[in-house]
Chains A and B, each alone.
Chain A
Amino acid sequence: QQQVKQSPQSLIVQKGGIPIINCAYENTAFDYFPWYQQFPGKGPALLIAIRPDVSEKKEGRFTISFNKSAKQFSLHIMDSQPGDSATYFCAATSGGYQKVTFGTGTKLQVIP
């Protein structure tokens, strides 16, 4: 049972473009939404995270937008660079609960 749905599965953008990755969830008990970035041959690493009481969070060129009523959240990468080429996973957890539910991942390729 996939509790966090992620799209698209893959994405190709040109350098400088703004790739957008979308995620949706059903479980209203989720209250923390991290994004992980994974480069080939490496383990995932935390990129940015948001709580549902905030509608937007920015860290550098990465922005999370959160729509609590729609149970959707998305990652935007401003001024994308070839070095951003990686697989991105959205995820969700519930308070005090140590298990993380991951989306299926989006493979992003930024071409020069």
Chain B
Amino acid sequence: DAGITQSPRHKVTETGTPVTLRCHQTENHRYMYWYRQDPGHGLRLIHYSYGVKDTDKGEVSDGYSVSRSKTEDFLLTLESATSSQTSVYFCAISRGQGGTDTQYFGPGTRLTVL
């Protein structure tokens, strides 16, 4: 998985609780991304980062926030988890070398919100 780890790998939580997912890379890639994967929707971008402390929203950012204080770590926080946020979350990284850049994905975190 291209030097990308995600933690936790599985989590069950209750509605209304905050949840933080962590992505850690050892590749020193500039760009990091958070996606969610749901049946019938494919992969949808939540937030991405183009450098330390530089982040931007994706297409499904409502209810999520991110932070990147170090090149290697990108955190995704669900401020108050809802059942609609039950999903598999993937972190990805890329070098940031233009439109042909390959994205490398982590192993995913399966989140269940009861």
Contact = CB atoms under 8 A, between A and B. Distances in A.
Contacts of B48: 98-99
B100 A98 contact: no
Q: How large is the interface on B (under 10, 10 to 19, 20 to 34, 35 or more residues)?
A: 20 to 34
Interface string B81-97: 00000000010101010
B105 A43 contact: yes
Interface residues of A, number: 27
Contact of A89 (B40, B43, B99, B107): B43
A105 B107 contact: no
Interface in B26-80: 31, 40-45, 48, 50, 58-59
Contacts of A34: 102
A42 interface: yes
B1 A93 contact: no
Contacts of B45: 99-100
Among A1, A97, A100, A102, the one with the most B-chain Cβ atoms within 10 Å of its Cβ is A100
B101 A98 contact: yes
Given A43-B1, A46-B103, A95-B98, 19 more contacts: A6-B42, A31-B99, A32-B100, A42-B1, A43-B4, A43-B107, A43-B108, A45-B105, A51-B100, A89-B42, A93-B100, A95-B99, A96-B99, A98-B48, A98-B50, A99-B58, A100-B103, A102-B42, A103-B42
